[in-house]
Structure 1
Amino acid sequence: MDVDYIDALERLLLLDEEVMQRRYAIFRQVQTEHQVVYSEKLQRWIFTRYSDAREALRDAHLSSEQLPSVLKQLPSEIRDNLDADNPLLRQANKIMMSRDDPDHARLRLLVNKAFTPRMIELQRPLIERLTRDLLDQMGQQEHPDFIRDVAIPLPIMVIAALIGMPYDSLGQIKQWSDAGADFLGKPTDTIEVFFRMAGAAMEFNAYIRPHLEERRRQPKGDLLSALIAAESQGDKLSEDELIANIYLLLAAGNETTTNLLGNGLYTLLTHPDQLELLRQRPELADSAVEEILRYESPSQITGRHTRQELDIAGQHIGEDQSIMLLLGMANRDPQVFNDPDRFDITRKDNKHIAFGLGPHYCLGAPLARLEAQVILPLIIDRFPSIHLMADYRPHWRKNPTFLGLETLPVDLA
């Protein structure tokens, strides 16, 4: 096997921007030559193929409980400087994505009772109105930037309205969201990331608790009130569980949707034939969003942990081993997707796994899809001549888990 490609893959996963521009060539080389890679540098098994990723996502013998164990193994310089009652330490094992069944099933059932498909669909008029307002404002900018002007504020405004937070908190919500996304998506030995997240957790707790108390006294028609009221067979979410999973919705939801919107417009603008096809046939919006999710997956990586020895993906993997599933690579597997490096918004039977699969399938996927399905047709209708700035070179955010552009300057004339 070409060890240079393994080294490049490791560098990519450790945030080396030099290799970001050729990530899919790296993916393809690794995927072609080996379905599973063990990285000594990362101390992880890396699954590269679609079928193996699907198997792992559904395998009940693999654990999602990585975050609590990571926190237990914090270096002394971090743990000694964190208050034992810091919400990050206390609430880490309350997040549904970091729990296995039966705890995960219990948390997800309760959150699902509040975060319903009907509640999400009811946001469509709000999303359309906010999108039109943001596009109008972007049209007035001397140097419009789709990421700054639309892709960042829209998801924050939508989730704030859904939860019931005032718009004057949007800047703070963005900071908390970024801290959470970095914590979930960057290498876990980054001390600065831990302290930033610990501070954000304290600030968010101080912010949200009065809102919880207010909703208990006077419920409203928002997600916060619905989460407080959610009950199953006499079981309800504790306050720590409420706060932890509201934070999860903010951090993962905002980051993923911002990246989906930015990756989507960038991909359309770099494939003018597909952009024109969507302009002529706006009914392809749903299919276009699915192809964007496959082609430039906003969530590139997810992880699992072995609780016992097992045979999976043609490998015997020991107990207490970490597994990294490369969703972005799996979504370009030529064994599953015909001509996988071709962007085609009419692609049929698009069974990508950009939002995961199985019990931990992304809870916010319907909301992210809805926002993208609304905004992409609106922007190409509002600005029929939109195109990339002539000297634009994409710079991707330094987060190996969440793939997203830092900026997307556009010419609207």
Structure 2
Amino acid sequence: MRCLPVPPDGPIPPPGTPLALRVPLAVRDGSAPTTHSVGVLRGPSGAAPPSLVSPGVARDPYPVFRVLRESFPLVRDELLGAWLVSRYADVCGALGQDGLVAVPPGRTLAHMEGDTHRAHRALVEPALRGRAVAALAAGASRTAYVLARRIAARPETDLVAEFCQWLPTAAVTAALGLPYEDTARVQQWCRGGLTHLGGHHHELDACLRPHLARRRARPGGDLLSVLCTAEVDGRPLSDEAVSGLVGSLLGGGGEATALAFASFLANLLDDPRQLALVRERHELIPAAWAESLRRDPPAPVVLRRAVRPVTVAGATLPAGTVVACLVGAAGRDPDRFAHPDRYDILRADPGRLAFGAGRHSCPGAELAARTAEYGLRALLDALPGLRWAPGFRPAPRGLLTRGPRILLVRPR
């Protein structure tokens, strides 16, 4: 075994930087972990650990995930500039750990720590239940049936372009009480870099500014009004904080939920027996959704940055370290799941890692689940003969975000 120091990492390059450079390589003088050195371990055959930025990994990362999970459960990926953690228990611990925050820097719950995180989470979680869920359910159901009926008469269609990419954004837009016409703009922003991590998106901030002013003056029953009128320590959230939370919800709806929904449909269409079972028993839809998130998460690699020394997989890493939580590897850990590569809607406990864990679990996970449920209900009702187009097979791709980009189907 060759032990390496664990140096702190340099500044995070801006969004849009290639994956190999998005998380920087170590460029400082490196200090050893505070408890014991973490080495690059050789596998049983003496092989070196694989890198996530090797050619072909983004096309199919699961063979590499398997090698890492079995032989290198905590290892430094020098090309990526991050420590990789891959076993289910270790990934759960890292995702929920105090001291590890999202990268790049931003203003969402995933970036907050300590009392600030607890105060904002105590505000946001109740806001995303009750009235917000009801508003989203109504918007998702209405939008899903409009989209499904539109494609029902076509001989062949792409569900990603015509359904998956539109439904989550439209549903969240409706829950926030924003005009339906803004859905197309949000879609463009998502394609231009707006994600579930929010960030400072100047066009979104400008779009929201008049809506925030109106909700503060005359609040209604929508989610944006709830956020505008809520208080933390007796003070209302700033416009910047509300915009950050809204950006996170819209970005998550536009990216993570759309990819997760595309994978969800692909898993069901790949197994007509399970699709028929869900068609007969709609109460199985939540379990089918959770199982798809386990097997094919929309974010197989989740990056976190240590704001102070943290313990990951039994080793202490210094502040500044970037940790890559391999959610895709954890979701197929055979020590946690029987037959982990199999899609099984009757699986008793599929886990809940795809939208985070512990204190950093995504508060919008319930909204995403409701969107998926109403979307699938609409498709099953409007497209009774839904099946793959002849000769088509889905080809998911991606590493930080992953899912099929095309789903060609026959509606009838």
Tell whether the structures are fold-level matches, with TM greater than 0.5. Answer: yes
1:278–1:377 Cα contact (<8 Å) kept = no
Measured in 2, the distance between the counterparts of 1:49 and 1:377 equals 34
Measured in 2, the distance between the counterparts of 1:356 and 1:117 equals 22
SS in 2 for 1:10: coil
Identity fraction in percent: 31
**Residue pairs, 1:4-153, within 5 angstroms:** 6-7=49-50, 9-11=52-54, 18-60=56-98, 62-64=99-101, 66-68=103-105, 92=106, 94-153=107-166
Measured in 1, the distance between the counterparts of 2:310 and 2:51 equals 28
Q: Give the length in aligned residue pairs.
A: 369
Measured in 2, the distance between the counterparts of 1:3 and 1:132 equals 56
2:50–2:68 Cα contact (<8 Å) kept = no
TM-score by length of 2: 0.82
SS in 2 for 1:162: helix
Amino acid at match of 1:209: R
| Alpha-carbon shift at residue 172 of structure 1 (Å) | 0.8
Measured in 1, the distance between the counterparts of 2:311 and 2:181 equals 52
Amino acid at match of 2:409: V
| Alpha-carbon shift at residue 181 of structure 1 (Å) | 4.3
Q: 1:222 to 1:272 in 2, by over 3 A?
A: same
Higher percent of residues as helix = 1
| Alpha-carbon shift at residue 164 of structure 1 (Å) | 1.6
Amino acid at match of 1:108: R
Note the alpha carbon deviations across 1:307-354, whole angstroms, 9 max, x for none. 444543133423321111011110110000011011110000222311
1:387–1:410 Cα contact (<8 Å) kept = yes
| Alpha-carbon shift at residue 138 of structure 1 (Å) | 1.2
| Alpha-carbon shift at residue 117 of structure 1 (Å) | 3.7
Are 2:204 and 1:167 equivalent residues in the alignment? no
SS in 2 for 1:29: helix
SS in 1 for 2:114: coil
> Structure 1: where are the runs of 5+ without partners?
69-91, 186-196
Amino acid at match of 1:42: L
The equivalent of 1:305 in structure 2 is 305
222-231 or 276-285: bigger deviation: 276-285
Q: 1:117 to 1:294 in 2, by over 3 A?
A: farther
The equivalent of 1:86 in structure 2 is none
| Alpha-carbon shift at residue 7 of structure 1 (Å) | 3.8
The equivalent of 2:403 in structure 1 is 404
TM-score by length of 1: 0.82
> Structure 2: where are the runs of 5+ without partners?
1-42
Are 2:203 and 1:203 equivalent residues in the alignment? yes
Q: 1:208 to 1:386 in 2, by over 3 A?
A: same
| Alpha-carbon shift at residue 163 of structure 1 (Å) | 1.0
2:59–2:397 Cα contact (<8 Å) kept = no
Amino acid at match of 1:221: G
326-335 or 115-124: bigger deviation: 115-124
What RMSD over aligned residues (CA atoms) do the two structures have, in Å?
2.4
SS in 2 for 1:224: helix
Amino acid at match of 1:371: T
Q: 1:316 to 1:97 in 2, by over 3 A?
A: closer
| Alpha-carbon shift at residue 370 of structure 1 (Å) | 0.8
The equivalent of 1:212 in structure 2 is 212
SS in 1 for 2:394: coil
The equivalent of 2:325 in structure 1 is 325
Q: 1:203 to 1:308 in 2, by over 3 A?
A: closer
